[in-house]
Amino acid sequence: MQIFERDITTLEQLPEVAKEVLAVFPKTRLFGFYAEMGAGKTTFIKALCDELGVIDVVNSPTFAIINEYQTKQHQPIFHFDFYRLKSLKEASDLGCEEYFYSGNYCFLEWTELVEPLLPQDFLKIQITVSGSKTRRLSATQMH
């Protein structure tokens, strides 16, 4: 089980930490984020998307549940926010499993709400608030 941990104290650190996460887990395409409201899930996903060359505006798909972005190389990246999900069946009806198994990058907020639908192999990213400006990012490869 590969583990990656970093303390983030400024927004300026995000590009470098995003680059490190992608380098440490180069084959991973499914990223499940676990954190309390306001901890920085969407902010870190923006940094990952920037590093991957996304040309679209990245924002939380709170009401749409899913946003699709394109990279400079015309590769799709999918960003989910399951906060407003009413049931696991709703996620299944949206075809989430097709996205999860597509081989494209998928970034999931509120992952715990869809865990039964996930493949065994995904990256669990925990963001813990420790102080007004400090976040601890822990990434664990799940199998």
pTM of model > 0.85: yes
104, two tokens: 């494209």
Average pLDDT over residues 32-59: 96
Between strands 66-70 and 76-81, the pairing is antiparallel
The encoded tokens of residue 137 equal: 């990012």
Percent residues over pLDDT 70 in the chain? 99
Q: Nearest CA to 59 among 39, 80, 75?
A: 80
Strands 135-142 and 3-8: antiparallel
